[in-house]
Amino acid sequence: QSTVRSGSGQTDPSRGPYIAVITNRSTTLVIRGFMLFSIGVFLALVLNLLQVQRNVTLFPPDVISSIFSSAWWVPPCCGTASAIIGLLYPCIDCRLGEPHKFKREWSSVMRCVAVFVGINHASAKVDFANNVQLSLTLAALSIGLWWTFDRSRSGFGLGVVIALLATLSTQLLVYNGVFQYTSPDFLYIRSWLPCIFFAGVITMGNIGRQLALYECKLMSEKTHQD
């Protein structure tokens, strides 16, 4: 448009360097992945603490260090898994050609995270009469979470598949003695694990989609500017 422009060797002058970096596609992917990873690590640490509280009602001073030192690889694993899930969800949406339109706002995402933490809290703090009741309640809560915040078939399917896979792998780990729970009750663990995994998958997917949406907005803005 500007015909009198003489110096054209510089960078795009209409945008600052910051914006230029942001709009780079692979960079955003890495940033997104890193954000999801850190969210996953953080949630894993906090929720692990909640689960430990179920068995240790009051912490003597030494317990905290043992929590953080014991299975050190659990939080990174959770972080990686959440990064994968969070990137997978928008990707699948894109592939299926049905973009997710339901409640795409950060406030809704925060609500979803809060409910997820609440489900964990309930499973850790509330005393249930038996394991069947616990699993039924948690399952209902997880489905409710999906219905409230997701409502997409792909989300449900992916959630179920990943939850089953994760439960299976966890059980394998426990069998092989790599990892063990504070409570040795095998049935107890099996009952709540899939539901928590499912809710976690839905939550991370929600976050991932929202982040992707943000990126999309940025991209479209860029094209608009061009």
Question: Does the protein bind another protein through residue 183 (CB under 8 A)?
Answer: no
- Residues 50 and 123: their CA atoms lie apart, in Å, by 9
Cβ closer to another protein: 59 or 73?
A: 59
**Of 25, 26, 58, 176, which lies in the binding site for another protein, with binding defined by CB under 8 A?**
58
Question: Does the protein bind another protein through residue 74 (CB under 8 A)?
Answer: no
Cβ closer to another protein: 49 or 173?
A: 49
CB of 51 to another protein, least distance (A): 10
Cβ closer to another protein: 53 or 154?
A: 53
Question: Does the protein bind another protein through residue 169 (CB under 8 A)?
Answer: no
Cβ closer to another protein: 95 or 224?
A: 224
Do residues 119 and 223 make contact, with C-beta atoms less than 8 angstroms apart? no
Residue 61 sits at φ, ψ, to 5 deg, of -60, -25
| Burial class of 172 by CB neighbour count within 10 A (0 to 12, 13 to 18, 19+) | exposed
Contact positions with another protein (CB under 8 A) in 98-127: 105-107, 109-111, 113-115, 117-118, 121-122, 125-127
The structure tokens listed for 117 are 């933490």
- Residues 103 and 195: their CA atoms lie apart, in Å, by 23
Q: What is the DSSP string of 38-67?
A: HHHHHHHHHHHHHHHHHH-SS--TTHHHHH
Query: CA geometry: angle at 18 spanning 13 and 23, to 5°?
Result: 90
Question: Does the protein bind another protein through residue 4 (CB under 8 A)?
Answer: yes
Question: Does the protein bind another protein through residue 22 (CB under 8 A)?
Answer: yes
- Residues 23 and 219: their CA atoms lie apart, in Å, by 7
**Of 38, 66, 169, 220, which lies in the binding site for another protein, with binding defined by CB under 8 A?**
66
> What are the residues binding another protein (CB under 8 A)?
1-7, 13-19, 22, 42, 45-47, 49-50, 52-53, 56-64, 66-67, 105-107, 109-111, 113-115, 117-118, 121-122, 125-129, 133, 136-137, 140, 144
